[in-house]
Amino acid sequence: MEVPQNIGRRKTYTSVLRKGLKYVEKRRNGDIKSLKTPWPSFNTAGVGGLEWGSMLTIGARPGAGKTMIVSQMLREAHRQNPDQKFNILEFQFEMGDEQYASRQFAGEVAQDYGVILSTNQQLDDFILDQIKEYINVCDMMEKQGIKRDIISESLTHQEMEQEIKQAYVDGGAKPLIVTIDHSWLIKRSSSEKDKFDVLYNTTEMLMSLKRKIPVIIIMITQMNRTMEEAIRKVPSSIANYPTSSDIFGGDALMQGSDMVVVLSRPYKMDIKSYGPYAYRVEKDDVFMHLLKIRNGSEDNSIIFMKMDGKNQRMIEVPPAVPDRPDGSFTRLSQRTGFSRNVSAPIGEEL
């Protein structure tokens, strides 16, 4: 009987343990850290943030803030993690360069997108000078070797893999944040029959890639129209909440992602009392549902946020639950789980 050659797929259990021990020790010594985001509860839900070698999928219907939240995450990445060196590669398939840049300016100088584009009145010199200064700062960072590259052309998953590997090499083998906006716009190759094939192949490629190089992958994806069915809009119903089956290509993304979150903005669907706990809904409320957390804490299934459109950012807030006929409500702490009675009419800001 011919003995098959060892083709190198097998590893001994102890070799894996030793590799894991090195990782644990580097985490213990602070040589490797997670990437912190602007939201404390999100960091707590993960492993002190997003772990290098992981994939985060963010799903939402249009207007819920998925592009805004990724933009904020990238805009504040170096400020939130000043002791880490990393580069950024964005697959920006949805917007043109001019529109994308204008949104970045709006977020950086804390102005509405319409102000940046002189919609109602001419942009003033002070804000224009701030924008120019921001460009100069970014240029200086690039000269210091802190790279942030953007690819606007739609690519196949094979082409994306090549670009990610090349960006990693060109960036001096630093850890790399990769964002994909969004899954529906990844180009179909000649061997792929439909968008589901594209998504499964892309996810498989990313799963393999994140085991080989230190990357954090952030995938933006669309939600199915099932979220807009009449039964889903019944006030104070569990049907208000999104599920994995509402995500386009949910099976592939749930399997391939380490974290899956869905942003819900009930006000846009005319839901004023949201979910079985009857959360009171205001125009700028955004509910971040944590559908999957492979590592980290699962204490919270929802993180509550407010959309600050003027500053192009999301602000984490504690939830308000209307539960008393006299108009007072209970404000719950996301981090402690304790509640306190607030004697204020519903609708008043604290």
The secondary element (H helix, E strand) that includes residue 54 is strand 54-60
Q: What are the structure tokens assigned to 257, written together?
A: 């992602």
Taking a C-beta distance cutoff of 8 angstroms, is the pair 298, 306 a contact?
no
Q: Give the pLDDT of residue 346.
A: 34
> What single-letter DSSP state applies at residue 35?
B
Q: Give the pLDDT of residue 332.
A: 46
Q: Give the pLDDT of residue 81.
A: 96
* Overall fold of domain 33-317: Rossmann fold (3.40.50)
CA nearest neighbour of 59 among 248, 270, 255, 195: 248
CA nearest neighbour of 202 among 150, 253, 262, 151: 253
CA nearest neighbour of 56 among 292, 252, 240: 292
CA separation for the pair 307, 53 (Å, rounded): 29
Q: Give the pLDDT of residue 314.
A: 94
Taking a C-beta distance cutoff of 8 angstroms, is the pair 45, 293 a contact?
yes
Q: Give the pLDDT of residue 322.
A: 60
Q: Give the pLDDT of residue 112.
A: 84
Stretches where the chain sits below pLDDT 70 are 1-7, 297-299, 320-350
The residues near 220 (Cβ < 8 Å, ≥ 6 apart) are 57, 58, 59, 66, 67, 70, 179, 180, 181, 182, 183
CA separation for the pair 253, 297 (Å, rounded): 20
Q: What are the structure tokens assigned to 181, written together?
A: 């906006």
Query: SS3 of 309, please?
Result: coil
CATH 3.40.50.300 domain locations along the chain? 33-317
Q: Which residues of 76-109 are buried (b: 16+ CB within 10 A; e: fewer)?
A: ebeeebeebebbbbbbbbeeeeeebebbbbbbbb
Per-residue pLDDT reduced to its tens digit, 113-158: 889 999 999 999 999 999 999 999 999 988 888 899 999 988 999 9
* Count of Cβ atoms closer than 10 Å to residue 12 Cβ: 8
